[in-house]
Amino acid sequence: MANKASDHINWHVTLLLILGGLFLIIVGNSFECEWHKIKIDQLMAEIGALILCVETLHWVFDMSLRKAMFKEIADTALENARIHDSGVVDCLLNSKQVSDPNHWKVSQELVIGIHYSSKFFDDFHEMLKERSASGKVTKVLVLRTNSQASEYLTKSASGHSDIESEVKKIKALAHECDPTGSKIVFSYHARVLRYTFIYTEHSIWIKFFTNSKLHASVPAFKIQAGSPLFKFFENDMRAMMEEVANG
């Protein structure tokens, strides 16, 4: 209500100034007067013309450009608010650049969901070793090599053809980090994943795949705990782990 009243007052002031500018132009052209070499009539007409131009432009801006600008700002703010409220706090265009070892090392819960890529175990070997030494359990969901999903991925030629050797490499790297086999715990799924993930109780990194056979850098999103998206992915992850546990 206050904004509407303010706009109403501003509109009246603008109108009065426009009329004042016209009045000065008319009056300035209706007489001739010079004082100390200053042409009063010409000065009055020019001041009126200046006021008229400025206030006309101001009126045009208020009536059209300002509304369009405010609408654009409002739409952008709404979009940003939706993204923020959804829980997305970071994005990398290349998922291979995802790196948060200091956080992963101290998190109480760390769950890795993959097909058969050993990149995480290669890149964060020392982190996993320190985590195991401190008594923290890391859960790994990896593809079961004798499953239909494994057979499909092999035939689709979307990745490595020898999935079994890749899984063995993961287990060998894990064994180096946890010789007892009690701190890095493996579960084997039989799903063609829509995404891979790195989960902690504070955040989750989601890495996507291409639909085509094209080998390209894929994006990754970091999602904060307590958000709707985090809840969605956490529920999906836990449902998958339950399915694996139940065979």
pLDDT in tens, 153-169: 888 766 666 899 999 99
pLDDT in tens, 1-18: 444 445 545 656 666 766
Which residue is it, tokens 């063609």?
A: 192
Q: What is the mean pLDDT of residues 16-38?
A: 70
Q: Please state, in angstroms and as integers, the Cα–Cα distance from residue 7 to each residue in 1, 21, 85, following that order.
A: 10, 21, 32
Q: How far is CA 230 from CA 114, 173, 198, 206, in A?
A: 18, 29, 12, 10
The burial of 42, by beta-carbon neighbours within 10 Å (0-12 exposed, 13-18 middle, 19 or more buried), is given as middle
- Per-residue pLDDT tens for 190-204? 999 999 999 999 999
When the pLDDT of each residue in the chain is averaged and rounded to a whole number, the result is 83
Confidence of residue 147 (pLDDT cuts 50, 70, 90): very high
pLDDT mean over 13-26: 70
Question: What are 48-68's pLDDT values in tens digits?
Answer: 777 777 777 766 666 666 566
Residue 31, pLDDT above cutoff 70:
no
Q: 206 near 155, Cβ under 8 Å? A: no
Alpha-carbon distances, residue 215 vs 94, 162, 223 (angstroms): 12, 17, 25
